[in-house]
Amino acid sequence: MKVSKKILYPALSLFLITLVSVILLALINAFTKDKIKDANRSNEDKQRIAVFPDAESFREKENYTECLDGDKNIIGYIFVTKGAGYSGDITVMTGIDKDGVISGVKVLEHTETPTFGGVAVENNFTDEYKGKEAQTFVKGQNIDGWTGATKTTNGVIEAVNLAVGSFETVAKGGADNG
């Protein structure tokens, strides 16, 4: 079987171009992966500090993050949970100190509409959780929410309540304590 030059040269050229591209991408990845990892870690720490400003450092566990003081003593925990919003999941980071007081709540990701839900998230409506005892939150009873963003508020409440449940499990030395 004879292979035509019209087929062989273009095929060989495409193969070499692809090979060189893959090698270059692998080299670029090797040189930048540590910088990207450090940048991601720095961003995560900034978000953690926003919900637990008293922490000096953090230690990641399987389902949560421990917040540590300067002597590496646990002073609280951070949980990342999700609740159902109007347009999809709302990912929320909740900080709870070891005494069961919420140190902060921050929306990490959402797909809420830019009108009501998005405005509520941008206006830090989650600040009303700060300083409250970790408990089951019910809109209209122990938390207000944001007028006009009912589903967004409910999604955040759902996520915070999941964090409170996880805190209770960790504080009692339960299954999440690993």
Q: Could you tell me the residue ranges of all domains in the chain?
A: 57-171
164, 77 contact by CB (below 8 A): no
Residue-wise pLDDT tens digits, 99-141: 999 999 998 888 776 765 566 666 677 888 999 999 999 888 8
Quote the pTM value.
0.71
Element (H, E) at 46: helix 5-51
Between 84 and 96, name the one with better pLDDT: 96
Q: 19: which 2 tokens?
A: 């090979």
- Cα distances (Å, whole numbers) of residue 120 to 7, 152, 168: 60, 8, 28
